[in-house]
Chain A
Amino acid sequence: MLRSIKPGIVILVAALLLAIPLVVNAGETLDSVKARGYLIVGVNGGLFGFGMPDEKGVWRGLDVDTGRAVAAGIFADPDKVKFVTLTTQTRFTALQSKEVDVLCRNATRTLTRETELGLNFVAVNYYDGQGFLIPKKLGVKSAKELDGASVCVLPGTTTEQNVADFFRTNKLTMKPVVIEQNTELNQAFFSGRCDCLTSDASQLAGIRAVAPNPDDYMILPDIISKEPLAPAVRHGDDQWRDIVDFCVLAMIAAEDLGISSKNVDEMLKNESPDVKRFLGVTPGNGKALGLDEKWAYNIIKKVGNYGEVFERNVGEETKLKLKRGLNAQWKDGGLMYAPPFK
């Protein structure tokens, strides 16, 4: 029953979104956030490593820390932020109806979301892509050998569509096994109800880690889709968009410049003009954004640079054990590339 009514609701909501003229004045969002005294960020709530409360009810994750960074940039305090849990269905409406100021909920940037849904995605905070997890005994080395396979997949996201597209493009057949919840999906896969499981690559490592015997499973090297996950804001307030954009970029730039939460105080004395401008020793950036000159210093000091945030939430030391890969700095062969802060 649940599944049959969902598409109807999504269409209805989308129609409503299109019908509502969005009147937002530049600068309005920052003013209302400041007047309120805290930032409201929409997050996933159940995605380990990206947005999930720990056993003490404290929010943890890459998306959560991105939200904290924006709060630190505005208020010099990463805790002046409230997290609101949003489902796949409610996430974009919550942003439109101003229930949240920023959406950091592992949302893929796409053309229609940016245009028809009236969202502005900012700098990407995680480059993901869809892959396959298979049992080794299947004896398959590439996704193209998966002809006729039954595929465990979650419904309603871009994942389901991507895998169908991939099989069609390569003239292969597949049997989708659609299961609503992550935990049930994993168990179905481990108990052998399907030949392979498809999901974002960032999830596959974690799923493999919880297998009864992780060594029996492997992740295929093929990545079949591009999933640039980025925070999003509403159309119509360019100043707010710039602030959120550069708060994310500041974490990336800091890693590039060699500034981390541990050495940021020493770096204040650094002679490099780039570092001086970045940390607000040479003023200008803060005024241009409408923030305090210390905004980037506060983000790095209180939240950390991108590398630190990555390692803390999803890196090799965590349960997800993700490598930097596409998310390494451009110098190291990744895609993380911040524009000059001047």
Chain B
Amino acid sequence: MEPAIISIPATEEIKPPITGIGVIGWVRKNLFTGKFNTLLTLLILFAIVKTVPPIIRWAFVDSLWSSQSQACKEAAGACWSVVTNNIRFILFGFYPYDQQWRPIAAIALLVGFIIYSHNRRRWNTKLLIAWPLGLAAMGIIMYGGIFSLPEVETEKWSGISLTLLLAIFGLSAAYPLGVLLALGRRSRLPAIKALSVVYIELIRGVPLISMLFMASVMLPLFLPEGITINKILRAQVAIILFTAAYIAEVVRGGLQAIPRGQYEAAEALGLSYYQKMRLIVLPQALKTVIPPTVSILISAFKDTSLVVIIGLFDLLKTTHVTLSNPDWMGFSNEAYLFTSLIYFVGCFFMSNFSRRLETQLKT
């Protein structure tokens, strides 16, 4: 008997309704479920249509990128010429005009270092030694005086070089100082504990502006005749002392979060105080407090712009001075947008880096 060939009809695949899948489905599911969501979607859509095209028109279509100020006054769009025409003053300020490749070189070196160190797998002793050497090299490039580079005093360092100088040295000096203060505050030695408490509470009790005023206005009056401390150094020290107090409190929070058992276990192993802190407590505590530490570092980076009030020309002040020129008065939106972009890049990098660090350290 011939086997009957039974053809089994292919089951008809019933597709879901066209309105339930793909783009349309996604839109229905996410944007138009229910009356309230539909209303919200329409409102937001309306707002986007109303605002985005004009902004793009202003910033890119009608804008001028390299013109004189007169042309700018007649233009309808953004006048980016205020930035392009003054870019060298905004970025480098008083640094001698023909020597400005030096801050560029120093910043390039710094960016190179940061990008290389971005990956945690590259962290080792060599890199730890390379960092101070790299910073010293940047200082030599900027200051000169050797290798037939003409000397440029620190008073002339301005614009972005000054902002980065204050930020990098400020943050990297404040962090270890803050950790020490946090340990000091939890110390069993009464003198150290009292000193740390007084320091932290005193510094946290005054605004940064008044610290900068003290450093720049009152300190010189107390110094003996003929001794003047560099203005930038004074501001730098004020920023370090201020930031350290805040970091200390954050780190103390981390120390308190470590269970007592960890301390006791370390002691049971016979570790000394130094070993206990270095090997057991601090690695865990510092890891826990990465998010608040980074937000303090970010706000300290932005706070460096407060040095304008003591007459230092940081990035914000050079922008401001450019806008005092009658040629460019009135184009403050464009100029400040540019400055905020630079600050944003710095801050975004820091928070991004901290997020990566948190994932890698599995906190």
Asked if A and B bind, the verdict is yes
Chain A residues lying within 8 Å of B320, measured Cβ to Cβ, are: 46, 181, 183
Q: Are A5 and B210 in contact (CB under 8 A)?
A: yes
Chain B residues lying within 8 Å of A181, measured Cβ to Cβ, are: 320
Q: How far is the CA of A297 from the CA of B75 in the complex (A)?
A: 49
Interface residues of A (CB under 8 A from B): 1-2, 5, 9, 12-13, 16-17, 20, 32, 45-48, 52-58, 82, 84-87, 89-90, 93-94, 96-99, 181-184, 186-187, 190, 206-207, 209-210, 212, 319-320
Which of B73, B155, B322, B324 counts the most chain A CB atoms within 10 A?
Answer: B324
A225 CB, nearest partner CB in chain B, Å: 23
Chain A residues lying within 8 Å of B324, measured Cβ to Cβ, are: 46-48, 52, 182-183
Chain A residues lying within 8 Å of B218, measured Cβ to Cβ, are: 12-13, 16, 93
B93 CB, nearest partner CB in chain A, Å: 6
B282 at the A interface (CB under 8 A): no
Q: Are A183 and B332 in contact (CB under 8 A)?
A: yes
Q: Give 5 new A-B contacts, CB below 8 A, not counting A98-B228, A183-B323, A320-B326.
A: A2-B309, A84-B311, A85-B311, A90-B310, A181-B320
A145 CB, nearest partner CB in chain B, Å: 28
Q: Are B93 and A57 in contact (CB under 8 A)?
A: yes
Q: How far is the CA of A30 from the CA of B225 in the complex (A)?
A: 16
Which secondary structure dominates where chain A touches chain B? mixed
Interface residues of B (CB under 8 A from A): 73, 85-86, 88-89, 92-97, 155-156, 158, 207, 209-210, 213, 216-218, 220-221, 223, 225-226, 228, 231, 309-313, 320-327, 329-330, 332
A177 CB, nearest partner CB in chain B, Å: 18
Q: Are B217 and A55 in contact (CB under 8 A)?
A: no
Which of B88, B210, B220 contacts A97, CB < 8 Å?
B220
Which of A45, A47, A53, A90 contacts B89, CB < 8 Å?
A53
* Complex: chain A residue closest to B311, CB-CB: A85
Chain A residues lying within 8 Å of B158, measured Cβ to Cβ, are: 57
Q: How far is the CA of A210 from the CA of B331 in the complex (A)?
A: 10
Q: How far is the CA of A56 from the CA of B93 in the complex (A)?
A: 8
Q: Are A87 and B310 in contact (CB under 8 A)?
A: yes
Given contacts A5-B207, A320-B326, contact A90 B94 (CB under 8 A): no
Q: How far is the CA of A183 from the CA of B333 in the complex (A)?
A: 11
